[in-house]
Amino acid sequence: MLKTNPARENIKRGTTKAHSPLKLYNPNGNTGSPRSESPLKAASGINPPPPVLTRPSSPLRCKSPVRDSANVKVAVRVRPLIAEDAEVSCLLSMAGQDTFLSPDPTSTRQQEKRSFTFDKSFWSASKDSNFASQEDVYELFGKEFLDHSLEGYNTCIFAYGQTGSGKSYTMMGTESEPGIIPQLCSDLFERIEQLQGISSVSVRASFCEIYNEQVRDLLSNAKTSTNLKIRENSSREPYVEGLSEFTVKNVAQVLKYLKQGNAIRATASTNMNSHSSRSHAVFSLEIRQLTYEDGGTEEKRSLLRLVDLAGSERTNATGATGQRLREGSNINKSLVTLGRVISALASDRRSTLQVIPYRESVLTRLLQDSLGGNSKTAMIACISPTNYEQTLSTLRYAVQAKHITTEARVNQDRIDSEQQGAQIEEMQKRLNDLQLKLSKRDQPDESSVIAKVAATVRFYEDRAALLEARCRKLEQQNDLLTDKLERTAQILRTSGQSLAATGVDRIQALISEYTQFGQTLSQDRETVSNRLDYWTAILEAM
């Protein structure tokens, strides 16, 4: 078993760093609460105006992108024995990467013990010396995908298995035993702290569910948050149109949004699980890294998807009727389609003309790039220690998934100083144009205003990230020059030479110039930060 990680303990105790209170800004320089008037009224009347919401730019590519062709990684985890299993023998055993399934004791047919090999096999059925804890699963399997995300690759981890096999526990966990998602987010912000002074990193979170073949925003109260549509960006990558996104600055904010989304996620009781997820949940993090260098900025973008699928189930086993029966049918439809997609992608006889049935379900359409495109992907197959048929079915799916190959590429680009200036001018022009459009509308509809406010927040986030990266680079240059000046002065003092005659005064002038420029950038950064906080507060109040 792995040693306890202090970050995991912080999640359990709730002692993660809290984000600072919002400092609100308005044109008069006064501070105040965004709730002092209607959010719609405030959003439609304040300067600068919100721009039209557009799809966030597709991941940037460098001229010669780094590519990595690799198979989907697959792990299997067996859930603990529960009270209902008291009179049934455990059918599973594990050794290293191997999982063994014993014959079904209820079958009249002669069967042999089956063996399967995966990237990881996690034994959680009983707390013996081989027991795999929540932390073990993350450290030995999930953590690798955070590393890939920070390298600039898109990544995806999804949990698959029958109802009641431990998928939500593995992905979400509990307050005392956090799953992959909260542990990964805790590590992410620790890594961001380590990158301070090197890169400026921003993270945006979104959370949606697919329920009865419809996409629902789990972080929005707007009436338009249901039945969202899946579109394609200019790179033909699928995304959810109108899905709300929020900047997260620490793990406490992530946990807040996870709790908010899970509170309204569709669940119900069936014969197989007293708290069965009736929807597929997709929690996404968009990570943007800016590293400012002489004459330009290096940018990396990555999308990290963490998916908790609804449980596969057999109607006669769940005892479902009416609404539950309809839910089960739609769950099975999407999972059957997922199985067909996995089979097609894993087939040795696959041809370039073969049509992969992504569009036959909302789930596979949304995960299209994760399953067969630009992504490093992992599957965690959660299995029951006592249900032979369902466990065998899940293991077979997992075996097929091992043979899927994706071709991930680093999403990065370099933006020179002239491009930065042109981009800022273009965004400011859009702001000015849209102020006029918004002012001509007497009663803008709620969804339109929310979309525009969200886009305004994104505009100021981009400005803030760019200024932050430049300030940090300037501080580094200043520190280097100061150090060089001190060392040179010490040498000259020792040798008795004149400082003025050696060009040291030029170094001093450069330090003064950098310091003044840095002060100007810092003032700009503070102004942008205040406006960002103001618009963020309005967006959260909606």
* DSSP of 16-79: SPPPPPP----TTS----GGGS-HHHHHHHSSSPPPPP-PPPPPP--SS--EEEEEPEEEEEEP
Residue where the block lists tokens 């979400």:
172
> Is 165 annotated for ligand binding?
yes
Contact 94, 123 (CB under 8 A): yes
Q: Are residues 303 and 182 in the same domain?
A: yes
Please give the Cα distance from 4 to 1 (Å, whole number): 9
Average pLDDT, the chain: 77
Q: Are residues 434 and 396 in the same domain?
A: no
pLDDT category at 60 given cuts 50, 70, 90 is very low
Please give the Cα distance from 277 to 267 (Å, whole number): 4
- The answer to whether residue 270 scores a pLDDT higher than 60 is no
> Is 162 annotated for ligand binding?
yes
Rounded to a whole number of angstroms, the CA Rg of the chain reads: 27
Kindly state the percentage of the chain with pLDDT values over 90: 41
Q: Are residues 351 and 228 in the same domain?
A: yes
Q: Are residues 256 and 290 in the same domain?
A: yes
Q: Are residues 38 and 77 in the same domain?
A: no
pTM for the structure as a whole: 0.72
The catalytic residues are: 164, 166-169, 308, 311
Please give the Cα distance from 163 to 382 (Å, whole number): 10
> Is 527 annotated for ligand binding?
no
- The answer to whether residue 435 scores a pLDDT higher than 90 is no
Q: Which of 377, 410, 443 is the last residue of a domain?
A: 410
- The answer to whether residue 271 scores a pLDDT higher than 60 is no
Contact 255, 174 (CB under 8 A): no
Other Cβ atoms within 10 Å of 60 Cβ, number: 17
Identify the burial level of 268 via C-beta atoms within 10 angstroms of its C-beta, where 0-12 means exposed, 13-18 middle and 19 or more buried. Answer: middle
pLDDT tens for each residue of 81-104: 888 877 788 999 999 999 999 998
CATH of the domain at 261: 3.40.850.10
> Is 261 annotated for ligand binding?
no
Question: Would residue 448 count as lying in a domain?
Answer: yes
Question: Would residue 262 count as lying in a domain?
Answer: yes
Q: Which of 383, 410, 437 is the last residue of a domain?
A: 410
Question: Would residue 7 count as lying in a domain?
Answer: no
Q: Are residues 205 and 303 in the same domain?
A: yes
Q: Are residues 405 and 459 in the same domain?
A: no
Q: Which of 410, 443, 464 is the last residue of a domain?
A: 410
Please give the Cα distance from 491 to 206 (Å, whole number): 56
Q: Are residues 289 and 180 in the same domain?
A: yes
Identify the burial level of 405 via C-beta atoms within 10 angstroms of its C-beta, where 0-12 means exposed, 13-18 middle and 19 or more buried. Answer: exposed
Question: Would residue 15 count as lying in a domain?
Answer: no
pLDDT category at 256 given cuts 50, 70, 90 is very high
Please give the Cα distance from 17 to 252 (Å, whole number): 7
Q: Are residues 227 and 353 in the same domain?
A: yes
> Is 44 annotated for ligand binding?
no
Amino acid symbol at 171: M
Question: Would residue 465 count as lying in a domain?
Answer: yes
Highest mean pLDDT among 53-57, 137-141, 486-490: 137-141
pLDDT tens for each residue of 496-532: 665 555 566 666 666 676 666 666 666 666 776 666 6
Q: Are residues 391 and 489 in the same domain?
A: no
Write the Ramachandran bin of 369: left for phi over 0, alpha for psi from -120 to 50, otherwise beta: alpha
Q: Are residues 437 and 464 in the same domain?
A: yes
Describe the crossing of helices 251-264 and 6-13 by its angle, rounded to 10 degrees: 50
pLDDT tens for each residue of 289-345: 988 766 667 889 999 999 999 887 655 454 545 555 666 577 778 899 999 999 999
Other Cβ atoms within 10 Å of 308 Cβ, number: 27
Question: Would residue 253 count as lying in a domain?
Answer: yes
> Is 143 annotated for ligand binding?
no
pLDDT category at 441 given cuts 50, 70, 90 is low
Counted domains in the chain: 2
Contact 455, 52 (CB under 8 A): yes
pLDDT tens for each residue of 190-233: 999 998 878 889 999 999 999 888 999 999 877 667 889 999 98
> Is 503 annotated for ligand binding?
no
> Is 200 annotated for ligand binding?
no
Q: Are residues 164 and 302 in the same domain?
A: yes
Q: Which structural domain range is residue 494 located in?
A: 33-57+427-541
Amino acid symbol at 248: V
Question: Would residue 21 count as lying in a domain?
Answer: no
pLDDT category at 413 given cuts 50, 70, 90 is confident
Highest mean pLDDT among 44-48, 222-226, 438-442: 222-226
pLDDT category at 32 given cuts 50, 70, 90 is very low
Question: Would residue 372 count as lying in a domain?
Answer: yes
